[in-house]
């Protein structure tokens, strides 16, 4: 009898950047990779044990946090109480504009004003009230794109390709979809050939789409960070109501004997009307020499302008209540309204 492979859920369909991050951490031959339609579906698969691990985008170096993922960690409806981060992956993201280079359109390009040869190909976008200093795109279309009437992509991608879009596709209708690979799927199904997707070169191959422009992201170092999530082993609810529950043990020592860099993600809420409430929460890490490396906020769902805060720190929560992170969390419990440890993992930042 063949042993069943562990299931890893990821934001699909195939050829999404999350798929690439998943393959980076979970070789397809050893795992059953299970594409999901939304990031929430990935959380749900891990929470209900359909998948043993999940992979979700967390932040992008150009465009910032993936708010859908933060909201799922905020878990305002208590649907995902057992989800913990247990790893991360960094993927270099280079976007293409994918569509159809139709015969009819290409034959008549000599009659149409070609966008490749139009004045806009100087690379200068028109300043607007919203974007007074538009950047200069790093690339220009390699095909005629004057026929493109509609664009599909994941909301994160628009913000990574601002200069290209405001220069060459200004005013073209945009539709948010659940992932860049879903965008490619929709464009492949569009028989009019007048839509385009911001997606990956792999999606172009899978869906047999033409590459109308490549490398359209604003920055060549555009990178997305993904989290690997798992379900906490029982007892669950790693929260202020169960402050003794701790991380599974794992060696923090590398081969050369040096402490490996670990990170932890923690969320907390504060009593908003108390002066200094936020400052007191942030201050609990410093006495334990825990470096705070990022802070994010999302609406707390309690009342307008109340927030849930997310902090990342350098350090790892030890088993058995020992160590600096546990000590800081005990102090956080005293000054916050509520808190939750969302996992500790080995940093893969090079």
Contact positions vs ligand PRE (CB under 6 A)? 11, 16-18, 57, 60, 66, 93, 154, 156-157, 179-181, 224
Beta bridge partners of residue 87, listed in sequence order: 228
Q: Is the Cβ–Cβ distance between 176 and 75 less than 8 Å? A: no
Rounded to the nearest 5°, which phi and psi values hold at 282? -70, -30
Quote the least distance from Cβ 70 to ligand PRE, whole Å: 11
Quote the least distance from Cβ 159 to ligand PRE, whole Å: 9
Quote the least distance from Cβ 9 to ligand PRE, whole Å: 13
Quote the least distance from Cβ 222 to ligand PRE, whole Å: 8
CB nearer ligand PRE, residue 181 or residue 336: 181
Quote the least distance from Cβ 149 to ligand PRE, whole Å: 22
CB nearer ligand PRE, residue 18 or residue 326: 18
Quote the least distance from Cβ 157 to ligand PRE, whole Å: 5
CB nearer ligand PRE, residue 69 or residue 246: 69
CB nearer ligand PRE, residue 152 or residue 262: 152
Buried b (16+ CB within 10 A) or exposed e, 179-213: bbbbbbbbbbeeeebebbbbbbebbbebbebbbbb
Quote the least distance from Cβ 180 to ligand PRE, whole Å: 4
CB nearer ligand PRE, residue 144 or residue 217: 217
CB nearer ligand PRE, residue 199 or residue 264: 199
- By residue count, the chain amounts to 350
Quote the least distance from Cβ 121 to ligand PRE, whole Å: 26
Rounded to the nearest 5°, which phi and psi values hold at 275? -60, 135
CB nearer ligand PRE, residue 11 or residue 290: 11
Q: Which two tokens stand for residue 275?
A: 């002066």
**Residue whose structure tokens are 């590398």:** 254
- DSSP secondary structure, 125-162, as one string: PPP-SS-SSPPPPS---SS--TT--EEEE-HHHHTTSH
Buried b (16+ CB within 10 A) or exposed e, 98-128: bbbbeeebeeebeeeeebbeeebeebebeee
Give the Å distances, CA to CA, from 115 to 100, 161, 216: 15, 18, 15
Using a 10 angstrom Cβ sphere, with 0-12 exposed, 13-18 middle and 19 or more buried, the burial of residue 299 is middle
- In the three-class reduction of DSSP (H, G, I as helix; E, B as strand; rest coil), residue 165 is classed as helix
Question: In angstroms, rounded to a whole number, what is the distance separating the alpha carbons of residues 61 and 64?
Answer: 6
CB nearer ligand PRE, residue 156 or residue 326: 156
């Amino acid at each position: 009898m063949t042993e069943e492979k562990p299931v890893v859920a990821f934001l699909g369909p195939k050829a999404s950047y999350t798929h690439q991050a998943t393959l980076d951490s979970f070789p397809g031959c050893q795992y059953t990779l299970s594409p999901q339609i939304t990031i929430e579906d990935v959380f749900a698969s891990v929470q209900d044990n359909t998948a043993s691990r999940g992979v979700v985008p967390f932040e992008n170096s150009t465009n910032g946090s993936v708010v859908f993922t933060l909201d799922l960690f905020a878990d305002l409806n208590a649907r995902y109480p057992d989800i913990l981060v247990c790893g991360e992956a960094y993927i270099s993201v280079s976007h293409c504009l994918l569509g159809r280079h139709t015969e009819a359109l290409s034959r008549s390009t000599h009659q149409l004003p070609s966008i490749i040869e139009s004045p806009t190909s100087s690379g200068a976008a028109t300043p607007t009230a919203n974007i007074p200093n538009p950047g200069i795109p790093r690339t220009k279309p390699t095909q005629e794109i004057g026929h493109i009437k509609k664009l599909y992509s994941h909301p994160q991608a628009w913000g990574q390709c601002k200069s290209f879009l405001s220069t060459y596709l200004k005013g073209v209708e945009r539709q948010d979809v659940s992932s860049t690979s879903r965008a490619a799927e929709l464009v492949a199904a569009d028989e009019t050939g007048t839509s385009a997707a911001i997606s990956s070169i792999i999606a172009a191959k899978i869906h047999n789409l033409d590459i109308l422009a490549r490398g359209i992201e604003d920055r060549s170092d555009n990178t997305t960070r993904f989290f690997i999530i798992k379900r906490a082993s029982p007892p669950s609810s790693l929260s202020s109501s169960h402050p003794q529950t701790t991380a599974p043990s794992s060696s923090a020592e590398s081969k050369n004997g040096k402490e490996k860099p670990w990170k932890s993600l923690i969320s907390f809420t504060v009593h908003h009307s108390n002066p200094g409430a936020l400052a007191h929460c942030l201050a609990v890490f410093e006495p334990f020499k825990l470096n705070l490396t990022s802070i994010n906020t999302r609406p707390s769902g309690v009342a307008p302008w109340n927030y849930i805060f997310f902090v990342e720190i350098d350090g790892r929560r030890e088993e058995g209540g020992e160590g600096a992170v546990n000590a800081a969390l005990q102090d956080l419990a005293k000054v916050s309204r509520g808190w939750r440890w969302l996992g500790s993992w080995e940093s893969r930042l090079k």
